[in-house]
Amino acid sequence: MELLSLGWRDVDVQRQVITLHKTKNGERRVLPITGHAWDLLQYHALHRRTDTELLFPRQRELNKPMCIREAWESTVKRAGIADVSDHGV
Q: Which helix (DSSP H) or strand (DSSP E) does residue 66 occupy?
A: none
Q: How far apart are the first and last CA of the chain?
A: 7
Task: Decide: residue 55, CB within 10 A, 0-12 exposed, 13-18 middle, 19+ buried.
Answer: buried
Q: Which pLDDT tens digit goes with each residue over 11-66?
A: 998 999 999 987 888 889 999 999 999 999 999 999 988 999 999 998 888 889 88
